[in-house]
Amino acid sequence: WLLLLLHKEAALEPQGPAVGYNSLQVSDDHHVSGIQARKKQHSVFWIKTEDQPTSNLLRKGIMDIEAYFERIGYKKSRNKLDLETLTDILQHQIRAVPFENLNIHCGEAMDLVVRRNRGGWCLQVNHLLYWALTTIGFETTILGGYVYSTPAKKYSTGMIHLLLQVTIDGRNYIVDAGFGRSYQMWQPLELISGKDQPQVPCIFRLTEENGFWYLDQIRREQYIPNEEFLNSDLLEDSKYRKIYSFTLEPRTIEDFESVNTYLQTSPASVFTSKSFCSLQTPDGVHCLVGFTLTYRRFNYKDNTDLIQFKTLNEEEIEKVLKNIFNISLERKLVPKHGDRFFTI
């Protein structure tokens, strides 16, 4: 049995680039038993639910790696720690673990316990991936990113994104399972400055300047058959998109403590402004933002993405979450589409 455990503390605003999220701090007096977790400083991890203190499980590394691979549907050999294996694991995770924030919008923002088939944002899903890759032997490093704001035309001052660097045979790769939507990489990106790296979603490009690395993407044209949604605020209107910047300074999960609280509690956060869920497929990506469901099929013809829109009613939300995203919520979701900038 698996638990994805997330603790959310009191609201703290980011105070510069070293803000962070603490997903490993747990109390000695709290146990995980069956499918229940007693509340207090739980961590973001798939952990084995034995009757031991959670902190001991984390310190000893007693976590169920086989359950993780069952969760993402990965059945191949993990004996070779090569680029092919890394790519395969990444693709399995992004097609099984949604990029989502739904618990904030269904009354479970504090002391969240997610049993099975749920997702999260970068701080959970990339930390989970970090643990899995490290457990099977990959040389993996946590990095911190600064997300680009299109309306503000600048990168965030706070370190609000967690990503990974994986080293294989002396070559470094950027691995990120936690950005979602049409910005999600499907393959690791080789850490080379100025090289176009075509993937199914788009062309990605990494550029280094004065110790900072910048991730950008070159996007395709978009075709929206339903003219009602041609001016949707969910549509990306730029063919060249800045995504985030980062440095190669190694980070720990403790470096992301206050930003995790900020993302879940601040009125200025897109996480509180909009409910969202996205999941990659073999040829595209499903997104649910508020009541709006979209499916983007990458490169369906002539270097153009097809984007289909549908507005759901309340009765359809639960069915869509279950059938498309494989999510069953314990509480009723209150879909939200606030005014914070968020594109698919």
DSSP state of 187: S
For residue 311, pLDDT beyond 90: yes
Q: For position 107, what pLDDT does the model report?
A: 57
Q: How many helices (H) and strands (E) does the chain have?
A: 7, 21
Q: For position 54, what pLDDT does the model report?
A: 27
Give a yes or no: residue 74 inside a domain. yes
pLDDT tens column, 57-113: 333 455 688 888 988 999 999 999 999 999 999 999 999 999 999 988 875 432 332
Give the dihedral sign, CA 322/327/332/334. Answer: negative
Q: For position 63, what pLDDT does the model report?
A: 66
* Mean pLDDT to the nearest integer, 225-253: 97
The pTM of the full predicted model, rounded to 2 decimals, is: 0.82
CA distances 276 to 103, 105, 116, 185, Å, are 10, 9, 18, 18
Higher-confidence residue of 28 and 238: namely 238
Domains contained in the chain, number: 1
Proportion of the chain above pLDDT 70, given as a percent: 78
Rounded Cα distance between 194 and 196, Å, is 7
Give a yes or no: residue 334 inside a domain. no
Amino acid 39 reads: K
Helix, strand, coil % (nearest 5) of the chain? 25, 35, 45
Give a yes or no: residue 48 inside a domain. yes
- Domain span at residue 199? 2-323
pLDDT tens column, 107-157: 543 233 234 567 889 998 999 999 999 999 999 999 999 999 999 999 999
Expressed in angstroms, the distance from the first to the final Cα of the chain is 33
Give a yes or no: residue 236 inside a domain. yes
Give a yes or no: residue 254 inside a domain. yes
Taking alpha carbons only, the member of 70, 174, 98 closest to residue 130 is 174
* Residue where the block lists tokens 């400055």: 193
What CATH number is associated with residue 133?
3.30.2140.20
Give a yes or no: residue 199 inside a domain. yes
Helix axes of 83-96 and 122-136: crossing angle, nearest 10 degrees: 140
Q: For position 220, what pLDDT does the model report?
A: 98
Residues with catalytic annotation? 122, 161, 176
Rounded Cα distance between 2 and 19, Å, is 29
Bridge partners, 312 (sequence order): none
Length of the chain: 344
Give a yes or no: residue 328 inside a domain. no
- Average pLDDT over all residues of the chain: 82
Give a yes or no: residue 37 inside a domain. yes
Q: For position 3, what pLDDT does the model report?
A: 31
Give the dihedral sign, CA 106/107/110/116. Answer: negative
Higher-confidence residue of 48 and 246: namely 246
